[in-house]
Structure 1
Amino acid sequence: MYASAGRWNDVAKVRLSMRDKGVRKAIGSSKIDFGQASGTKLWKSIHYQPGRPRVLFRDYIEVSVVALPDKIQEQKFKKRGIWEAIRQNKRLDLPAHRVMVSSFFCEKVVKESINSLESNEDYLSLKKGARSSPKEFSEKLRALLKSLLTHFDTETELYEAKERAAKRQELENEVLHHVEPICRDLLYELRLRTSSESKDKITNLFGNADDPSTIIDQSVEDCLKTYIESCEDLRTRYKNLCDENCKVLKSELLSFAKIMAERIKKADG
């Protein structure tokens, strides 16, 4: 039953359990008859190895039989709203065969694409170029997405459009999720470089100012503008990461600028 339903994990569990308990079914027998029905009774034909405990049928298979023509059973179904659902929709909202097939195979292509990332040249190039400029990184990311999505479109062109669109978006999201740690490292490195350069710039700017405290905010904003412009190519897909690093950088530069302004003020005083 499990095998016919494609539930291979359950098939494996049952077979392993039967093997562990020394239970074997009669060769060639694959059906079960109940009550007065004629035919081979699978469970009674099972051969047990000596010394092994006998087990019950219900230890392996849960069976529930409902006789729909029975008025009593029908009343039970009505109370639970099940009978009306069956009468109104005999398919019980099961998706069409084509939709199920489309979903299954599109999902398969998505998984294969994600599993192949570590051998994908575009992805490996992206990892190696983690310390490149955001613009170069963004170009490599676009190349990776184009390659994978084009492959997906080719492999799934005969399936349902709605299922394809949903799984295509899922593939793109999964790729971006895998690339996110690389992007995070790149933005971190960029933030460190910008912070160092900005501190030098602020130091020089304050050295030539009559009252550095009056230009703290403006000097920091000018430095942040440079960082934001550098991240522009990545903001479309990783806006949260860009904003997160920008916030940290702003806090660092404001603290530095205030300390520098205070030092200069004390030195002049």
Structure 2
Amino acid sequence: MENRTVQMIDGDGKFNPAEVEQFMQATGLSNCGNSYVVVSIMGPQSSGKSTLLNHLFQTKFREMDAFNGRGQTTHGVWVAKPKCAAEKPFMVAMDIEGADGGERGPDDTAFEKQSALFALAISDIVMINMWCHDVGREQGACKPLLRTVFEVMKRIFSARKITLLFVLRDRTKTPLEHLDQILRKDTEQIWKSVCQPTIHVNTPLSEYFNVRGGHCFTKLELQEELFKEQVAQLRQLLLNRTKHRDGEAIVPASEFCFSAQRIWEEIKDNKDLNLPSHKVLVATVHCEEIANQKLQQLQSDKHLLALQRDSQSGSISGFGSKLSSILDNYLSEYDKEVLNFDEGVRTEKRKQLISKALDFMHPAYLKLLNHLHSEAFESFKHQLEEMLNRGEGFSASVKSCSISAMSKFDKGSADAAIRQANWDTSDIREKLCNDISNEKLPQWKDFYKISPEDTLITPLGCRALWRGFKEGIDERFQEAKWVKFKNGAKKFLVGTFNVAQITLSAAATLNGLPIQPIPIPLPRGTQALQTAIDEVVEDIAADASGEGFSEEKD
């Protein structure tokens, strides 16, 4: 297969993708990345194009049999792999059907222009093969063909240069320097004469082409050895040129067939051929295809699915690094497979791949954060209860446990973070802060024995709270009338109760509780307070008199 020639486009203008794909696989072209070049030849029919290619590259393009008369031998466009070319860059030789043939009749010029434009669109070096005695003429020197091609090339302006190499056959006595001067002058005149888009007015030929002077060959049948020497010189020049190419390939070698077919279809449909846009189109199609493939593989990755399942039941140590590593593996595979495509396209598709992958991972990440929130909140409540049971101060205990819980959550969320993502944990963190703050109030009420069902001022509570009151009673109270003493004691205790309310409200504020002021409820109405005060006063009076008091109470 390596030495076999393959018809890329047949005589009817039909592209043969199956043949080209088979050629790419058999020759190794598919694996060459951007390291490949295409060398093509075009020119008049029966000018020896196929013969020259076969001598240059040891290929087997079909040649004209002179004994059977002159006529069309190459139909359409053919490709082959040169045997004599270096391994890198990979070289593709392309033989183009000759112009000026009589077989096509009126359709001849249409196909020759299409095939010439096709050659220029996908080739790095285009050899224009012509008879030496046709230099300076209109038809034999391919002037109409060059004029059409130049006109189109100005419309499809691309920074990628093409080398035009003129090959002159059957050398005459005219000095090569003179022939070369005529070729360059004619080429420049054709370039200047074609219609120029406004944005490219006065753009020199050198912006599009590297024009190489004529390479003359003697007549093969008359001086075969000298012809072979001249072929060897041209071969070396071509090999040197391919090693120092201008720019890079339009598309990676793996997409050579796809790209060539699309270009040919656009040329056939008379569409404006935009090579930079074509390069982006090919990159877009295949980078997206590869990105979707990697996304599907990631979504079915058994390690990722196991992490997602485990995240449903609790936190996972190293969750973020594990997910990051899985994503990195697929991104690395993507990067390798799209390396030779347009950089802007492959970068954009990479971003889209990351975004879709993170969307797939995000639910498991959120589930894990909720577990971290629950664990941190339970840790706060447990630690606070333990510290209060040990008799430690409420305010210091709350502060210590809050810091510990938030630190636990922060460390867990940092461990769960995926390197490629920039996910915000502030909502769940704020929820944890609020939950901790809300939990302080019931804990504080428990600590100070305050609840909707109980009151600070109970008979038992008052007796304990104001035991010191009776110890400070002056002798004068023992001699006082009971009614005055009782009323004074009541007034003192009620006032102290109001002070207690204010003090407790201030304490709540200092402890960071969300309610201010703290209402201290009186169960069973104010009668409970009245009863409590009466009992305390009677107790104090009895102790003060040493025998109780038997006067009637009012």
TM range (shorter): 0.5 to 0.7
Name the SS of the counterpart of 1:159 in structure 2.
Answer: coil
Q: 1:146 aligns with which of 303, 318, 328?
A: 328
Q: 2:341 aligns with which of 146, 159, 179?
A: 159
Q: Distance in 1 between matches of 2:336 and 2:274?
A: 30
- Structure 1 residues 2-41: aligned runs within 5 Å: none
Structure 2 residue 392 is matched with structure 1 residue 219: no
Q: Distance in 2 between matches of 1:208 and 1:98?
A: 75
Q: Distance in 2 between matches of 1:179 and 1:216?
A: 36
Q: How far does residue 92 in structure 1 lie from its aligned partner after superposition?
A: 11
Q: Distance in 2 between matches of 1:257 and 1:180?
A: 32
On the 8 A contact 1:202/1:257 being kept in 2, the answer is no
User: What one-letter code is carried by the residue in structure 2 that aligns with 1:122?
Assistant: H
- Structure 1 residues 60-75: aligned runs within 5 Å: none
Structure 2 residue 313 is matched with structure 1 residue 129: no
Name the SS of the counterpart of 1:266 in structure 2.
Answer: coil
- Structure 1 residues 91-130: aligned runs within 5 Å: 96-130=277-311
Per the alignment, do residues 250 and 93 of structure 1 end up closer, same or farther by CA in structure 2, a change over 3 Å counting?
farther
Per the alignment, do residues 210 and 117 of structure 1 end up closer, same or farther by CA in structure 2, a change over 3 Å counting?
closer
Q: TM-score, normalised by structure 1?
A: 0.59
Per the alignment, do residues 145 and 239 of structure 1 end up closer, same or farther by CA in structure 2, a change over 3 Å counting?
same
Q: How far does residue 195 in structure 1 lie from its aligned partner after superposition?
A: 1.6
Q: How far does residue 88 in structure 1 lie from its aligned partner after superposition?
A: 4.3
Could you say which residue in structure 1 is the equivalent of 2:446? Answer: 263
Q: Distance in 1 between matches of 2:324 and 2:348?
A: 20
- Structure 1 residues 199-210: aligned runs within 5 Å: 199-209=381-391
> Unpaired runs of 5+ in structure 2?
1-196, 201-271, 451-455, 462-554
Q: 1:232 aligns with which of 414, 432, 438?
A: 414
Could you say which residue in structure 1 is the equivalent of 2:374? Answer: 192
User: What one-letter code is carried by the residue in structure 1 that aligns with 2:438?
Assistant: S
Q: How far does residue 93 in structure 1 lie from its aligned partner after superposition?
A: 9.2
User: What are the Cα deviations for residues 110-163 of structure 1, in whole angstroms up to 9, with x where unaligned?
Assistant: 222223344222322322332464443123202221221122112212211222
Between the two proteins, the alignment pairs up a number of residues equal to: 183
Per the alignment, do residues 132 and 147 of structure 1 end up closer, same or farther by CA in structure 2, a change over 3 Å counting?
farther
Between 214-223 and 248-257, the greater mean CA deviation after superposition: 214-223
Q: Distance in 2 between matches of 1:92 and 1:244?
A: 53
On the 8 A contact 1:213/1:258 being kept in 2, the answer is no
User: What are the Cα deviations for residues 161-190 of structure 1, in whole angstroms up to 9, with x where unaligned?
Assistant: 222122112211211111000111111122
Q: TM-score, normalised by structure 2?
A: 0.30
User: What are the Cα deviations for residues 62-101 of structure 1, in whole angstroms up to 9, with x where unaligned?
Assistant: xxxxxxxxxxxxxxxxxxxxxxxx8548x79995211221
Q: 2:433 aligns with which of 250, 255, 266?
A: 250
Per the alignment, do residues 187 and 142 of structure 1 end up closer, same or farther by CA in structure 2, a change over 3 Å counting?
same
Q: How far does residue 214 in structure 1 lie from its aligned partner after superposition?
A: 5.4
Q: Larger C-alpha radius of gyration, 1 or 2?
A: 2
> Unpaired runs of 5+ in structure 1?
1-85
Q: Distance in 2 between matches of 1:99 and 1:120?
A: 31
On the 8 A contact 2:315/2:371 being kept in 1, the answer is no
Aligned-pair identity (%): 19
User: What one-letter code is carried by the residue in structure 2 that aligns with 1:148?
Assistant: Y
User: What one-letter code is carried by the residue in structure 2 that aligns with 1:120?
Assistant: D
On the 8 A contact 1:125/1:140 being kept in 2, the answer is no
On the 8 A contact 1:206/1:261 being kept in 2, the answer is no
Per the alignment, do residues 140 and 210 of structure 1 end up closer, same or farther by CA in structure 2, a change over 3 Å counting?
closer
Q: Distance in 1 between matches of 2:402 and 2:348?
A: 43
The structure richer in helix per residue is 1
Higher relative contact order (CA 8 A, sep 6+): 1
Q: Distance in 2 between matches of 1:170 and 1:187?
A: 25
On the 8 A contact 2:307/2:319 being kept in 1, the answer is yes
User: What are the Cα deviations for residues 176-213 of structure 1, in whole angstroms up to 9, with x where unaligned?
Assistant: 11100011111112221222122111112233455414
Q: Distance in 1 between matches of 2:392 and 2:305?
A: 52
Per the alignment, do residues 215 and 239 of structure 1 end up closer, same or farther by CA in structure 2, a change over 3 Å counting?
farther
The structure richer in strand per residue is 2
Per the alignment, do residues 150 and 210 of structure 1 end up closer, same or farther by CA in structure 2, a change over 3 Å counting?
closer
Could you say which residue in structure 1 is the equivalent of 2:505? Answer: none
Q: Distance in 1 between matches of 2:286 and 2:387?
A: 61
Name the SS of the counterpart of 1:259 in structure 2.
Answer: helix
Q: Distance in 2 between matches of 1:224 and 1:165?
A: 38
Q: Distance in 2 between matches of 1:188 and 1:136?
A: 16
Could you say which residue in structure 2 is the equivalent of 1:79? Answer: none
Q: Distance in 2 between matches of 1:183 and 1:152?
A: 24
Could you say which residue in structure 2 is the equivalent of 1:169? Answer: 351
